[in-house]
Chains A and B, each alone.
Chain A
Amino acid sequence: MRDWEAASARFVSSKAAAAGVFFLAILVPGAGHLYLRRRKKALLLASIIVVTFVLGVHLEGKLFAFEKGQSGSETLINYIGSLAGLGNGILYLVAIGFGLAKGQIDQPTFEIGITFLLSAGLFNILAAVDAYRCSIGYDYDAAEAARLQARGEKKAKRRARKQSARQNKRQQLPK
């Protein structure tokens, strides 16, 4: 595998420091990768997250803010949406603090705005998990090879089971 920024990349020695990188990445989009000196990845992820978030605000989307709804299911949806929105980190706090992204339900782009805001939060969570992996020197290729091998073994087992079932059926048939 050709690592993009192998020469400049920095790793951390303890799990606590890796958790710190994770929370840094959650708080500021791209900051985790930037701390690990993976500038290209940081720039790519941060630009996509920020653009998605800004578009969500512009399209009159709504950020959920841990409010109780009129029914239990509405409260649950509010809380799940708030958790996804909280993934935006500082963007979420700034938007809530300045009263942005309150949502205009009469606008035709209201739902798309919500989708964009929640997607940006989920993208940032994914980016933070990747920052954590990068910080501990996670081997992407080895993990992928193991996953493919496990899938192949599972397929082979299923095939063998089907073959034996077919043979059993043939043996049970009257001659």
Chain B
Amino acid sequence: MTHFLCLIYISFAISTVVATTATNDPAKIFKRTAKYFGMMAIGSIAVGWLMFLLSP
């Protein structure tokens, strides 16, 4: 559970920092944060599912 929460937090932190430092427009910051967070969440779920399938 700790690992999962850490993954969620670090994904949120990365997406917020990257989006905030890329523009000064608050609407764009919000949109990009949501976009990057969504991409990372989908990626994490996909990788986690693949690892679950590949695990013996």
Contacts and interface: CB of A to CB of B under 8 A. Distances in A.
Nearest to B29: A4
Contacts of A140: 22-25
A134 B28 CA distance: 16
Given A112-B6, A116-B6, A52 B24 contact: no
Contacts of B29: 4
Interface string A100-126: 000000001100100110010001001
Task: Give the interface size bracket for B toward A.
Answer: 20 to 34
A16 interface: no
B2 interface: yes
B24 A4 contact: yes
A129 B14 contact: no
Nearest to A1: B25
A141 B27 CA distance: 13
Interface residues of A, number: 31
A126 B28 CA distance: 18
A interface, over-half SS: helix
Contacts of A126: 17-18, 21
Interface of B: 2-3, 6, 9-10, 13-14, 16-18, 20-29
Interface of A: 1-6, 38, 41, 44-45, 48-49, 51-52, 55, 59, 108-109, 112, 115-116, 119, 123, 126-127, 129-130, 134, 140-141, 144
21 contacts: A1-B23, A1-B28, A4-B24, A41-B24, A44-B16, A45-B20, A45-B21, A48-B17, A49-B17, A51-B13, A52-B13, A55-B9, A109-B2, A112-B3, A119-B14, A123-B13, A126-B17, A127-B21, A130-B21, A134-B24, A140-B23
Given A51-B13, A109-B2, 4 more contacts: A4-B24, A6-B24, A119-B10, A141-B23
The 9 closest A-B pairs by CB, nearest first: A130-B21, A3-B24, A123-B17, A140-B23, A112-B6, A1-B25, A2-B25, A126-B21, A4-B26
